[in-house]
Amino acid sequence: MLLESLREEVLRANQEIARRGLAPHTFGNASGVDRSSDKPLVVIKPSGVDYAALTAADLVVTDLDGNIVEGALRPSSDLDTHTLLYREFPQIGGIVHTHSEFATAWAQACRAIPCFGTTHADYFHGPVPVTDPLTAEEVASDYVGNTGAVIVRCFRSAKLDPVAVPGVLVAGHAPFTWGKNPAEAVEHADVLEYIARLAFRSVVLGAPDDGIPSHVSEYHHLRKHGPKATYGQR
């Protein structure tokens, strides 16, 4: 069985999605990529399988174009979104898609999440962006691939760095997050849900649409992520 340790990481990330309540039923999925060879391999959840029943052997291995390399089950129906993101964002090693309650509500309202506080600034540099809705043509021609395409377009047009902004809301759908590996991707999915929840209530309480002043959000982001980071044990 190829890629044993990556399979274990992807299995754990999928289990974390369920354990943290980020996706009820079989909604949601996690994947990881091994870029150590010329032909990178993606490990992803199979489609429509319960989290509780999932094993490492059930996971599906594909190449970066989504061709199945190993696995008896059909891969997640969102596979082509994952592979496109791995091709376009070479810095990332894991992707998580959830339907978590508050992040999905923002996605369904087609609104980016402004940075209202330091909880947000510690993880996301600026607002959590929202994509354009898919057009009728994009849906008809290649829905799943074009979901990846609108994410990439969103980042390119706003000149966003996928390392500093480790996730996005797909309009009318739900969030995707990523990280250097599957474990970090699922941590970002969990933090994004928390940020979305705080921001929902801040909006109801009348927080200004443009969030906190940028000098605070810049400071907080850089104290965790910049070259002069002072947070944690380093």
- Residue ranges in contact with a second copy by CB under 8 A: 24-27, 46-49, 73-74, 77, 99, 101-102, 104-111, 116-119, 133-136, 139-140, 143, 172-174, 187, 190-191, 194, 197-207, 212-213, 215-216, 219, 223, 230-234
Report, in Å, the least distance between residue 171 CB and a second copy: 8
- CB nearer to a second copy: give 68 or 143: 143
Residue 79 near residue 162 (C-beta atoms within 8 A): no
The question of whether 209 is a catalytic residue gets the answer: no
Residue 231 annotated to the active site: yes
- Supply the minimum distance, in Å, between the C-beta of residue 29 and a second copy: 12
Locate 39 and state its tokens. 């032909």
Question: By C-beta, is 49 or 168 nearer to a second copy?
Answer: 49
- Active-site pick, 161, 210, 219, 231: 231
Q: How far is the CB of 143 from a second copy (least distance, A)?
A: 6
Instruction: Return the closest-CA partner of residue 68 out of 100, 41, 47.
Output: 41
Q: Residue 129 in contact with residue 169, Cβ under 8 Å?
A: yes
The candidate with the shortest Cα–Cα distance to 175, out of 56, 30, 75, 53, is: 30
Q: Which of 122, 132, 143, 194 is catalytic?
A: 122
**Shortest CB 216 distance to a second copy, Å:** 6
| Distance (Å, whole) CA 65 – CA 209 | 40
9 vs 193 by CB, closer to a second copy = 193
Strand locations in 26-101 (E): 29-34, 41-44, 60-63, 68-70, 94-97
Contacts of 118 (CB under 8 A, 6+ apart): 216, 217, 220
Question: Residues with catalytic annotation?
Answer: 122, 231
